[in-house]
Structure 1
Amino acid sequence: MKLTNIRIENFRAHADTTIPLTQLGCLIGENNAGKSSVLHALQFVLEERKLTPNDFRAPDETVSVTLRIDDIDADDLSRVAEAHRERVASMIRDGSLTLVRTQGKTTTAESRYWDFEPKSADWDDARLEEAIGGKKGAGLRTAAIELQPRFKDVLGDAPKIGEVREQWKRLKRELPAEQLVAVPAKFATGISAGLKPLLPSVIYIEAVKDATSEARPTGTATFSRLLELLFTEVEDQLGNIETQFAGIHSKLSRVLVADGKESDERLPAVKLIETTIERFVQNSFPDVTLRMNVPAPTLATILSGTELTVDDGHRGMLASKGDGLKRTVLFAILRAYTELRGRGLGAEPATASKRHAYILLFEEPELYLHPRAQRQLMAALEIFALDHQVLVTTHSPGFFTPTTSGFAKLQKTDSGVSAYPVEISMQARDAYQLIHHENNEAGFFARKVVLVEGDSDTIIFPHLARILSAKWDQYDRNVMFVKIGGKGNITRYRDFFAKFEVPVYVITDLDSLVDGFNHLTSDSELKLQHSDLMSAVHKHLPSESTPNAKTVKAIATRRNAAELWKAAQGYLTEWRESRQEEPARALEEALSELFDLGRGAYRESILASPPTGPIKEKRDALVQGLARERVHVLRHGDLEAYCGSVTTSDKVEASIQFCREVTTKDEYARRLGDEAASILRELEEIFATVFAD
């Protein structure tokens, strides 16, 4: 059994939000984006909470939370008391149950479930009652068959009217899905309470500084629920404790037995207490009757009184200790469960059907934890999620691992909360590396993401934007510059962030038009423009490639060039040893291929300073076309062309030095010299697009 979908209407910031739920999921978003409200909405349904006036987005409208539960099987139904099991099973269709809980500002909260009624008026209950009214025996059978021929195969020769009604309900339930429509239905008497054992119990760890409420020994406290989890593992050593509990309950309260009828085997003293209270009430209100119902004792109610004493130099109750210690104990119980889960605490491991279902709602697990403790906690949550669902709200992608089954990014707007569910469909390794990449955690919460190649780009570009215009501040505008480590990663990163509905921009060097254009766009028209441009450039290349020292250094750092150079060294060694023609020819081919890479430098030089008007026009048209796809190619070359002269070869150090020395637009213009007007105009066009509202 698992919760698969929640729809939240008119609840706090949520006007109408639908979010898929997974086995181990994360809600991400800025502060006050409505993440905690999703957890509270789950509590509203599963724990039948009541709302306060502040919970209504529109005061005059009803709050509604719809929760879908799928994959309900026989093991899950076995947790329901036998007296209620058949009725609860009838509410489940194809292993699914949908609960709806509503509350108006002036009305009480009410829970219902989605029942399925036939779309056709032929199946209206009123038609049945009209057809069979006053009929008996064979006449009743004939009337029922005339109304619905399917009765012919399910009714005896002289059915009773109750049998006809039951078969009518069964026939309606067996109609194909396309002939049915979902309608909210009220629970039968006693079924609301009878359904509870089927539903997961909520364990809620809030992101609050004061953890006292979580550590108190009460049935609904996190502390109590976590202990309940642990003791589930030793139920096999507790004998027939549930039978003993049922025996105690029957002596204290009326109970429903297997046939659904009420049994009253209460102790005479208990009956006397009820009748005595009722007698005194009837002295003032003669027509009033009174019933006393005592809840059934359970392991959970007993555990709710469990207390932990802690000696940290001063012996006292856990609830009296500091927040850090209290939260550590809570996490320790969770980790203890995950460690003991596999082997159990008893003689035999607890079976899946024996375990009650839980859902762990965890607000910002990263709070107040050392990074090592965060990793340990995440590992515990992964194991916990093997048995029970987990939903965390977080600002840290550190709580994503290859086992995390889904994200939902929440974004608050004037019209409510927009949810962007994200299923990580790429390879687990790719997704893991992307999310854990340096500074990428901010990308999840950024308004826009700008992909750049290296560390120096993440330093220089935000600095240039800020000195060109005060309104282009990356922090104020929530624009994140993300290092991707090379053009080959552009597609991966663009696809990844696009899943979170984050607008993605790219700023890349001019050499991307020479080597790596396939990573910039998939547009066929732009590819044709690129091919036309590079054909024109090729005509202006020198017939022989004679690379200078700078070119040799540049190409030698490329992966393919490094491999060629290594191969050339091997051929040279082989030739020295054998003096044969074959290694000599292989050496010549490797060196020719290696230094032909230097022609790329000539192509880039031609693109940066076009020798003809047509080449310039073709280049500018292509760059503008890419810009419309949020890909900005630097027309003047690489980042060094935009920084002027530097006094160090270390790129990061040079970038920091540049930011110290150039702090105004005028200083930057002087640094650029004759190229100032052209470069400033180009950068202003790029940043105006990136930082636009």
Structure 2
Amino acid sequence: MRLKAVSLQNFRRYRERTVVPIDQLTAFIGRNDAGKSTILEALDIFFEGGTVRPDPGDASIDGEKANVRIGAVFTDLPVALDLDAGAQTTLAAEHLLNVDGHLEIVKTYNCSVSGKVPAPKISARAMHPTAEGVAGLLQKKNSDLKKLVKGAGVEANCHQNSNPSMRQALYNAADNLALADTEVPLNDADAKNVWEAIKRNLPVFVLFQSDRASRAQDPEVQNPMKLAVQKALAGISDELEAVSKKVQAMAEETAKRTVEQMQGAYPEMELASVLKPAFEKPNWSSVFKLDLESDDGIPLNKRGSGVRRLVLLSFFQAEALRVREERASGGGNGVPIIYAIEEPETSQHPDHQERIISAFREVAGGGDQVILTTHVPALAGLLPVDSLRFVDTDPADGAPRVRAGSTEVFAEVAATLGVLPDAAHQANVRVAVAVEGPTDVDALISLAGVLMAAGDIDGFDQSRVFWTMGGGSTLKDWVERRYLDSLNIPQIFIFDSDQTTGAIPPSQEKVERVAEINARPNCQAFLSRKRTIENYMDVAAVMRISENKIQISANVDPDYGDMADAFAAALKMARAAHGQDLNFYPEDMEGRPLPLAKSKKIITAYIMRNMTANEVRGRGTYTDVNGESRNEILQWLTTIRAHL
């Protein structure tokens, strides 16, 4: 199941019902005390994560203190629900889906009490039958359902030892169910069994908070380990349920015999007539403990906050690695997880902030969900624009509001948090060159260096070129593109064609995008004739640079194949064959060693930089519609040079 939205009402600042959409990666951005952490803590209360518990102080001032509501909407629903006694049903058959076909669960807390808040009332907001004879069937006991089945004359259409079967027979026999938007209670009768089955399918939710005191078992350290236990338990929930039922049956049988013995031996005792065996299901997550210990004997919770947060960073990087490995092996993502992280930038160096955002994006891309909060401009600039949820106060009524998606919202985020482009301080910028990724910049600089050395193009001052990502995938990208519009400098866009074969033209979307940009004043756009920038590498250069030890397969199409994957495979084979004798030590533009896992970076910043002018010319040459020989690499670079 995947969380699609959360709703709050009468909860802290959110007095009026507020629905917040949730994506695979969701980032709540806003000033301190805007109401960002409130959403994460509400979810922890809903999922019973254990970090936050409902409190009378959670009720909104001037709100309905006895009606504090936290709701969650889910998609990717289970095909079937396994109830007690082996019965099966579905959410659709029980009419527990809302008007959009999603599962919407609402928990209502009575925060008007003075002490501990009691357990919530649980309901499903659904298009549910309201017609006479079929209303409230989930709240009926087995005996009541049998009477209704007999009265409707549908005994032959169901199994009377199965409540779901009897409910279905009654629904099918009704002329009109009169479906209406209803809150269906899930606390009583067979509805409770349905809720227990739903609970077993819910995602595992874990909240990492940033603002708390360090203690013996600091959650900042323990939560990743606690989550490891939760994931393991969730993966064997059916087995644990079977163990619980077996223990319950054996224990209740013993309790029953004890009570019967007591009633027979001591009939005069009134206590014997009221004793009933009661079984409380175990909290399995409290049974198993998993801690981390420091090698030098210093408790990890006594380390600096930055080190403790690095444990969290390492956890998410390890999760990102797991996602990659599962993708490579074709395995599933296992139990769905929702990671909620408050201010991941806390006590972290800016380099670590970039790495943890990268890990978050990869974990979210693998199928789990990541929700975070931040108010730091540098971190906000790294986030995908479609993940943003801007939390602020509505000037009209002073209520909190959560907004996403529009140009107006992005502008407000940038202004409120101070997200500014690097180009703002570069007074001598003459042209902006927008490409699809950082390795595209490396490639153009490498290719320009080769052709300048050969005299094919004049040299130009790199400090006057503002390189930016043209895809607009992050807030920083969006701001920079809009900023450059107002700066009124020439803009050049170079897009990958993304073609996987020459027989299929580029997507119409990209063609139209290039045409739209070319129609703008002061802008020029190019669509590459090969798949990506890596396809402008000459495979002969790879062999020459590696002394013929790295050989890219002849089965790979150099124009439309995935050259990064092809190079990675060739490098892996070369390392296996030659070991230490490979003598392949790629470096970046500054002469720093490049990790061998960075295939794209090696291609664009090292191999292309060491190609010959003839190799560069050869990879850029094409024949235009008039039969004339052209060179697109030269076209890109001379167009940039013309603005300098």
Counterpart of 1:357, as a letter, is P
After superposition, the Cα gap between the structure-2 partners of 1:80 and 1:226, relative to the gap in structure 1 and judged at 3 Å, is farther
1:293 aligns with 2:279: yes
Match in the other structure for 2:186? 186
Compute the displacement of 1:8 (Å). 0.9
The one-letter amino acid of 1:199's match is L
Q: 2:396 aligned with 1:412, yes or no?
A: no
List alignment gaps of at least 5 residues for structure 1: 145-153, 236-240, 254-263, 458-484, 517-557, 561-693
Distance 1:24 1:158, change over 3 A: closer
Give 1:156 shift.
Answer: 5.4
Change (3 A) 1:190 1:184: closer
Considering fraction of residues, name the structure with more helix.
1
Aligned equivalent of 2:577: none
Amino acid at match of 2:171: K
Query: 1:226-283, CA deviations, whole angstroms, 9 ceiling, x for partnerless residues?
Result: 32377589x7xxxxx7787556534532xxxxxxxxxx23497787899999999x97
Residue 372 of structure 2 corresponds to 392
CA RMSD of aligned residues (A): 5.8
Report the CA distance shift for 1:101/1:119 in structure 2 as closer, same or farther (over 3 A): same
User: Residues 379 and 45 from structure 1, CA distance in 2 versus in 1: closer, same or farther, beyond 3 angstroms?
Assistant: same
1:362 aligns with 2:341: yes
Which amino acid is 2:370 matched to?
Answer: V
- Tell me the residue number matched to 1:70: 75
TM superposition shift of 1:56: 1.0
2:6 corresponds to: 6
Matched, 1:102 2:87: no
Q: Measure, in 1, the Cα distance between the counterparts of 2:348 and 2:209.
A: 14
Q: Deviations over 1:490-529 (max 9, x none)?
A: xx99xx99x99xxx999989xx9xx99xxxxxxxxxxxxx
Q: CA deviation at 1:70?
A: 1.7
Tell me which amino acid in the other structure corresponds to 1:43: D
Closer, same or farther in 2 for the Cα pair 1:232/1:348, shift >3 Å? farther
Q: Could you say if the C-alpha distance between residues 273 and 214 of structure 1 is closer, same or farther in structure 2, counting changes exceeding 3 Å?
A: farther
Q: Structure 1 residues 32 and 157 mapped into 2: Cα distance closer, same or farther (>3 Å)?
A: closer
Contact 2:134 2:171 in 1 (8 A): no
Q: Who is 2:518 aligned against?
A: none
- Give the direction of change, closer, same or farther, for the CA distance of 1:40–1:183 in structure 2 (3 Å limit): same
**1:621-674 Cα deviation digits (max 9, x unpaired):** xxxxxxxxxxxxxxxxxxxxxxxxxxxxxxxxxxxxxxxxxxxxxxxxxxxxxx
Deviates more, 1:9-18 or 1:244-253: 244-253
After TM superposition, give the deviation of residue 43 of structure 1 in Å.
Answer: 1.8
* In 2, Cα distance between equivalents of 1:105 and 1:137: 38
Displacement of 1:287 in angstroms is 5.9
Spell out the pairing of 1:517-596 with structure 2 (5 A cutoff). none
For the pair 1:342 / 2:324, whether they are aligned, the reply is: yes
Supply the AA of the counterpart residue of 2:180: L
Counterpart-to-counterpart distance in 2, 1:21 and 1:118: 29
Residue correspondence of structure 1 range 149-160 to structure 2 within 5 A: none
Sequence identity of aligned pairs in percent? 18
C-alpha distance in 1 between matches for 2:150 and 2:82: 43
Which residue matches 1:252? 247
Corresponding letter in the other structure for 1:167: A
Task: Note if contact 2:149-2:170 (Cα within 8 Å) is conserved in structure 1.
Answer: no
Q: Equivalent residue for 2:89?
A: 86
Q: Does 1:307 align with 2:288?
A: no
With the length of structure 2 as denominator, give the TM-score of the two structures.
0.52
> 1:420/1:307 Cα in 2 relative to 1: closer, same or farther (>3 Å)?
closer
CA contact (8 A) 1:251 1:265 kept: yes
CA–CA separation in structure 1 for the residues paired with 2:104 and 2:133: 25
Deviation at 1:205, TM superposition (A): 0.6
Give the equivalent residue in structure 2 for 1:47. Answer: 48
**How far apart, CA to CA, are the structure 2 residues paired with 1:29 and 1:103?**
27
CA distance in 1, matches of 2:345, 2:252: 52
Given that 1:113 and 1:185 are in contact with CA atoms closer than 8 Å, whether structure 2 keeps it comes out as yes
Pairing 1:265–2:250 present = yes
Residue 406 (structure 1) shift: 2.3
Q: Does structure 2 conserve the Cα–Cα contact (< 8 Å) formed by 1:364 and 1:393?
A: yes
Task: Check if 1:374 corresponds to 2:380.
Answer: no
Structure-1 separation of matches of 2:262 and 2:302: 40
Kept after mapping to 2: 8 A contact 1:361/1:392: yes
How far did residue 78 of structure 1 move?
Answer: 7.3
- Distance (whole Å) between structure 2 residues aligned to residue 199 and residue 269 of structure 1: 34
Cα drift, residue 390 of structure 1: 1.0
Matches within 5 A, 1:396-545: 396=376, 398-399=379-380, 401=382, 405-413=386-394, 415=397, 417-423=399-405, 443-445=415-417, 455=425
Distance in 1 (CA, whole Å) between partners of 2:280 and 2:344 is: 38
Letter in 2 for 1:194: A
Is the CA contact (8 Å cut-off) linking 1:101 and 1:110 kept in structure 2? yes
Shift of residue 69 of structure 1? 0.9
Instruction: Call closer, same or farther: CA 1:169–1:362 in 2, change over 3 Å.
Output: same
User: Residue 99 of structure 1 contacts residue 113 of structure 1 at CA under 8 Å; is this kept in 2?
Assistant: yes
Matching residue's letter, 2:28: L
Paired position in structure 1 for 2:617: none
- Counterpart CA distance in 2 for 1:301 and 1:379 is 32
Letter in 2 for 1:69: F
Deviation, structure 1 residue 291: 3.5
1:21 counterpart residue number: 22
- State the SS of the aligned residue for 1:102: strand
Contact 1:249 1:297 in 2 (8 A): no
Q: Distance in 2 between matches of 1:79 and 1:400?
A: 45
Aligned counterpart for 1:111 among listed residues 122, 132, 148: 122
Give yes or no for contact 2:200–2:237 (8 Å, CA) kept in 1.
no
- Compute the displacement of 1:98 (Å): 0.4
Contact 1:138–1:157 (8 Å) recurs in 2: no
Question: Structure 2 unaligned runs (5+)?
Answer: 428-463, 491-520, 524-644
Deviations 1:298-322 (A, max 9, x none): 5x555x41122112x4x15434544
**In 2, distance between residues paired with 1:97 and 1:69?**
5
Aligned length: 424
> Could you tell me how far 1:295 is from its partner in structure 2?
3.0
**TM-score for both structures, normalised by structure 1:** 0.48
Per-residue deviation at 1:100? 0.6
Take 1:450 and 1:399, find their aligned partners in 2: how far apart are those partners?
11
Output the amino acid matched with 2:207.
Answer: Y
Q: Secondary structure at the match of 2:192?
A: coil
SS of the equivalent of 1:105 reads: coil
How many Å separate the matches in 1 of 2:304 and 2:270? 52
